[in-house]
Amino acid sequence: MKSSDTKPAGGFRAMARRMTADLVHRALIQKGLSGYYSKRDENKARYQSWEGARELAAQIKYDAVNHLDKMLVEFADKIAIRGTQVHWCPDGASAREAILGIARANGVKSIIKSKTMTSEEIHLNEALEADGYGVFESDLGEYIVQLRKEPPYHLVFPAMHLTRGQISDLFHEELGSEPTDSPEELTMIARRVMRRKFCGADMGISGANFAVADTGMISITENEGNARLTTALPRIHVAILGIEKVVPRLEDLALFLPMLATAGAGQALTCYNTLFAGPRQPGEADGPEQFHVVLLDNRRTELLADPEQRDALHCIRCGACLNVCPIFKNVGGHSYGTTYQGPIGSVITPHLRGLQDWKHLSAASSLCGACTETCPVKIDIHHHLLQNRRNAAKEKPVWWERAAFAGFVVLMKSPRLYELGLKLGRIGQVFHPLIDRSPLDPLRAWTGSRAFPKLARRSFREEWRKRKR
């Protein structure tokens, strides 16, 4: 099993092994999420119908994604009217180049960022830093993991895996601040650091949660205010977003903004939801002189080309599926080893980064379906995991799996062979205690942590035959 693992698969296994045994991590994540569950349910209950809202959201996203070319053209043309420059980037390299180009052309020295997973996806920070730019993450969670030099743990809550003690130690080491176990004081430390950066940065880079086609706007959802500051003070604002983020009408946000908040953070609405329609307009007191929107494909069109899984592009990146996934809660966000974690990440990563290298993410699931049940836009997440498995097996069958299931088919197509197998099994299980859990035990993947059930003295069919005689 292990020898056929690709490097990402091996990394996943190793980290999953470590994290699933880490009971401190398990308890911390459970505790953090329990508040989310109760607030989420409270806010869902206020809806006249959460299920009705999901259906409408699914419908709107279906319409948008299945008319994506029209939507993007309308969006780009309309946002350009007010002076925005739109960059269409087919891949990560062209997006990095576009943004580096903007920085170079404008004598940028320091860059401040609000949270954008899309920039993680294309490794933008590394490219900017390699070119000599100082890049500062302003979102508290992103700032913390940036200081720790590790990737974000969760789509929406990047530092969820850390205790306040760890964050205090981090700030003490990196910033020289006094140790404290108060989340409020820790937040204030970061706030003070960040205010200087907001005022001093030449360029602000943000993501976008939605792009509105019929008015030519992007919208950014946040709680901290760092995205508003990132886009208010620097003289250049660059927003990077995946092409799938577009919604048809401004009024659609009346549905999506609350649903994103509730599914993602358990809130009725997040603190700040800001629409951006262009750079500083005539008569305005402040705002960037230049506004650039970078539209990123980076293999999303490959997912689009798969009609079975196209709805994975409906994703509004709320993170709700992560929050309910028992795999995510036990292996943690870093085990995935890639930008998009959890159930939706396990669906799209094989498409965005290669099926054979990343199919293990789709395999590492019990297919419980909690993700599909919770998704606010009704993506058929767990069935897509199954489809990825099928596609991977079809493209490149794993030889021993093929052999094993060929045997399985022979066995199951013959009731006589099956009953013979049972009889042999009953004999075998007499001897099993001798090798139970040892390296010789063929069942040790199970018996390592669980007792294996006994084969019954008489199978049901034997009992039934007896009874009917």
Partner 1 sequence: MKVTLFVPCFVDAMFPDAAMGAATVLERLGHEVLFPEGQTCCGQPPFNTGMWDESRAVARRQLGIFADAETIVSISGSCGAMMKAFYPELFRGEHDEETARSVASKTHEFSDFLVNVLGVTDVGAVFSGRATFHDGCHGLRELGIKKAPRALLANVRGLELVESPEAETCCGFGGMFSVKFPMISTAMGEVKCDSIVATGADFVISNDSSCLMQIGGMLERQGRPRRCLHLAEVLAPTE
Partner 2 sequence: MNGRDIILGRIREALRRPAPAPHHHGHGADGAGSPRDWLPPVGESFDERVDLFARNAESLKATFEQHSSLESAGRRIAEVAAAEEWKRVASHSDPLTDQLVAPLAAAGIVALWTDGGYEAPALEECDAGITTCEALIAQTGSVLVSSAGSGGRALSVLPPHHMVIARRSQMLPDLHAALLAIREKSGEAFPSALSFITGPSRTGDIERILVLGAHGPKKLTILLVP
- Residues of this chain that bind partner 1 (CB under 8 A): 1, 13, 16-17, 20-21, 26, 30, 326-327, 329-331, 363-370, 372-373, 386, 388-394, 397, 401-402, 405-406, 408-409, 411-415, 418, 422, 425, 445-446, 448-456, 458-461, 463-465
- Please state, in angstroms and rounded to a whole number, the distance separating the CA atoms of residues 193 and 197: 7
Report the residue number, 310 or 353, with the smaller CB distance to partner 2.
310
Binding range to partner 2, per CB under 8 A, among 5-13, 223-231, 361-369, 391-399: 223-231
Contact present, 338 and 152 (Cβ < 8 Å): no
Residue 406 binds partner 2 (CB under 8 A): no
192 vs 390 by CB, closer to partner 1: 390
Site string for partner 2, 160-199 (x = CB under 8 A): x-xxx--x---------------xx-xxx-xx--xx--xx
Please report how close the Cβ of residue 249 comes to partner 2 at its closest, in angstroms: 9
Instruction: Between 91 and 463, name the residue whose CB sits nearer to partner 2.
Output: 91
- H-run or E-run covering 50: helix 50-65
Contact by Cβ (8 Å): 198, 233: yes
Cα(163)–Cα(167) distance, integer angstroms: 6
- 463 touches, from partner 2, partner 1, none (C-beta below 5 to 8 Å by class): partner 1
Identity of the residue, 31 or 450, whose beta carbon is nearer to partner 1 in the bound complex: 450
Q: Determine the 3-state secondary structure of 81 from DSSP.
A: helix
Token pair for 10: 């091996």
Q: Which does 188 bind (CB under 5 to 8 A by kind): partner 2, partner 1, none?
A: partner 2
Tell me whether residue 246 or residue 371 sits nearer to partner 1 (CB atom).
Answer: 371
For partner 1, the closer of residues 434 and 451 by Cβ is 451
C-beta closer to partner 2: residue 99 or 144? 144
Q: Which is nearer to partner 2, 177 or 231 (CB)?
A: 231
Binding at 401: pick from partner 2, partner 1, none (beta carbon under 5-8 Å per type): partner 1
Return the residue of 55, 178, 462, 463 that touches partner 2, per CB under 8 A. Answer: 55
Sign of CA dihedral 389, 342, 165, 34: negative
Scanning 91-136, the segments in alpha helix (DSSP H) are 92-105, 117-121, 124-130
Among 310, 383, 389, 437, binds partner 2 (CB under 8 A): 310
Contacts of 59 (CB under 8 A, 6+ apart): none
- Tokens representing 438 are 């040892």
In the complex, minimum distance from the CB of residue 369 to partner 1, in angstroms, rounded to a whole number: 4
Residue 265: C-alpha distances to residues 33, 406, 449 (Å): 10, 47, 35
Residues 6+ apart with CB under 8 A from 160: 29, 32, 141, 153, 154, 333
147 binds, among partner 1, partner 2, none (CB under 5 to 8 A by kind): none
Residue keyed to tokens 């609350």: 258
Closer residue to partner 1, CB minimum distance, 70 or 396: 396
Tell the smallest beta-carbon distance from residue 410 to partner 2 (Å).
36
> Judged by CB under 8 A, does residue 21 bind partner 2?
no
Is residue 378 part of the contact set for partner 2 (CB under 8 A)?
yes
Site for partner 2 in 322-361 (CB under 8 A): none
Total chain residues near partner 2 (CB under 8 A): 111
Q: Which is nearer to partner 2, 120 or 224 (CB)?
A: 224
What is the number of other CB atoms lying within 10 angstroms of the CB of residue 422?
15
For 49-109, strand residue ranges (E) read 85-89
Q: Least separation, in Å, of the C-beta of 466 and partner 1?
A: 11
209 binds partner 2, rule: CB under 8 A: no
Q: In this complex, which beta carbon is closest to partner 2, that of residue 245 or of residue 360?
A: 245
Residue where the block lists tokens 């969670």:
141
> Which candidate, 55, 83, 40, 446, places its Cα nearest to that of 281?
83
38: partner contacted, choices partner 1, partner 2, none (Cβ within 5-8 A by kind): none
Q: Does 106 bind partner 2 (CB under 8 A)?
A: no
Look at residue 117 and give the partner it binds from partner 1, partner 2, none, a contact being a CB closer than 5 to 8 Å depending on partner kind: none
The pairing of strands 85-89 and 110-113 is: unpaired
> Tokens 């549905």 map to which residue?
255
CA distance 369 to 380: 9
Tokens at residue 167, please? 């964050």
Beta carbon of residue 393, minimum distance to partner 2 (angstroms, whole number): 22
Q: Is 276 in the site for partner 2 (CB under 8 A)?
A: yes
DSSP string, 333-355: GGGG-SSS-HHHHHHHHHHHH-H
Tell me how far apart the alpha carbons of residues 414 and 454 are, in angstroms, rounded to a whole number: 23
Task: Return the number of other C-beta atoms located less than 10 Å from residue 240's C-beta.
Answer: 27
From the list 308, 373, 401, 419, which residue makes contact with partner 2 (rule: CB under 8 A)? Answer: 308
DSSP state of 440: T
